[in-house]
């Protein structure tokens, strides 16, 4: 798949990444080793750190917004005050897996599939699923992020694709879907460590995730494809995520692993979060 992202180097608690023509240095606590290519870091277009607050150096050198193709999806990026850009490139391999899996399942089942993306952020996974012909429901508690995702849909010529754009609290939405009898063939959820719903509802992963997974189980179709659970929360290892999925899904196969930032063959992979997925059949 076309890709304009790469990890250039990491170490000393930082990562150096290329997003299209922009090279950025940002914090990364798990990069405790020594950088392999110290001289390369001088090429950074801009730098972000949290020393004494949230600080960008060279932010003026960045475009207010620029577009980068990652994992076959064109994404609008913009430097936020918290150092984020509107994409988490460690998830790109999962986008590609979602696209490939839904394409194969649609061909095998000879029908349209319904994909639910919870805590959906800027929509990379939603658009990968839409590229596979799935009917998508994209939900996030932030109206700003849902609007951003809709912009990304337009960039990918998917503005007319069958995507429901929902701004809501995840648990409240799922409870309504259960009552309505709405069901989905595939679900992705990326719960935050701590978050707020549309009306300020508190979400703490340790207290809310079990309820969320139970409701996800209730909205699965009679013959679902998969449930994919990802997390950046410390302590929520691949085994922890696998055990959580195993409680709600009998039979099938459970796979798990780390989400990785990656670059050229000589660049060390940088783990940045974990995933587990239950696959039916």
Per-residue DSSP letters for 242-280?
HHHHHHH--SSEEEEEEEEE-BSTTSPPEEEEEEEEEE-
**Phi/psi-derived region of residue 238, left when phi > 0, alpha when psi is between -120 and 50, beta in every other case:** alpha
Q: How many CA atoms lie less than 13 Å away from 177 in the CB half-sphere?
A: 24
Task: Please give the Cα distance from 183 to 63 (Å, whole number).
Answer: 41
Task: Supply the pLDDT for residue 205.
Answer: 87
Task: Supply the pLDDT for residue 2.
Answer: 65
CB atoms within 10 A of CB 186: 27
The CATH class of 89-279 is alpha beta
What phi and psi, each to the nearest 5 degrees, are found at residue 41? -65, -20
What phi and psi, each to the nearest 5 degrees, are found at residue 143? -65, -35
- The tens digit of pLDDT for each residue in 26-50 reads 999 999 999 999 999 999 999 999 8
Of 60-64, 117-121, 175-179, give the lowest mean pLDDT range.
60-64
Task: Please give the Cα distance from 177 to 74 (Å, whole number).
Answer: 30
Task: Supply the pLDDT for residue 157.
Answer: 98
| Average pLDDT of the residues in 176-190 | 98
For helices 205-218 and 170-180, the axis angle rounded to 10 degrees is 20
Which residues belong to CATH 2.60.40.1180 in the chain?
A: 5-77
Mean pLDDT for the chain overall: 94
**Yes or no: domain 5-77 corresponds to CATH 1.20.120.1760:** no
Which tokens hold the place of 224? 């679902």
Confidence of residue 250 (pLDDT cuts 50, 70, 90): confident
* Residue-wise DSSP of 87-108: --GGGHHHHHHHHHHHHHHHHH
Which residues belong to CATH 3.40.50.150 in the chain?
A: 89-279
- The tens digit of pLDDT for each residue in 98-149 reads 999 999 999 999 999 999 999 999 999 999 999 999 999 999 999 999 999 9
């Amino acid at each position: 798949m076309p890709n304009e992202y790469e990890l250039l180097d990491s170490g000393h608690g930082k990562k150096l990444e290329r997003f299209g023509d922009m090279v950025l240095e940002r914090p990364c606590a798990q990069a405790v080793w020594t950088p392999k290519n110290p001289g390369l870091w001088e090429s950074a277009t801009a730098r972000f750190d949290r020393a004494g607050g949230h600080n960008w150096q060279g932010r003026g050198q960045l475009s207010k917004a620029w577009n980068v193709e990652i994992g076959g999806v064109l994404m609008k990026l913009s430097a936020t005050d918290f150092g984020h850009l509107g994409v988490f490139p460690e998830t790109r391999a999962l986008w590609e897996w979602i696209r490939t899996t839904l394409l194969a399942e649609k061909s095998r089942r000879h029908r349209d599939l319904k994909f639910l993306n919870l805590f959906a952020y800027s929509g990379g996974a939603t658009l990968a699923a839409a590229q596979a012909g799935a009917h998508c429901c994209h939900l996030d508690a932030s109206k700003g992020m849902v609007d951003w995702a809709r912009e990304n849909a337009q960039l990918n010529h998917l503005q007319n694709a069958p995507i429901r754009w929902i701004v809501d609290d995840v648990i409240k939405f799922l409870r309504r879907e259960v009552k309505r009898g709405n069901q989905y063939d595939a679900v992705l959820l990326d719960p935050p460590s701590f978050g707020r719903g549309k009306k300020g509802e508190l979400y703490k992963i340790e207290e809310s995730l079990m309820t969320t997974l139970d409701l996800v189980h209730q909205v699965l179709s009679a013959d679902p494809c998969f449930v994919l659970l990802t997390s950046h929360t410390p302590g929520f290892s691949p085994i922890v995520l696998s055990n959580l999925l195993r409680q709600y899904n009998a039979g099938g196969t459970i796979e798990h692993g780390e989400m990785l930032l990656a670059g050229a063959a000589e660049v060390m992979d940088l783990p940045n979060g974990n995933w587990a997925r239950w696959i039916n059949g």
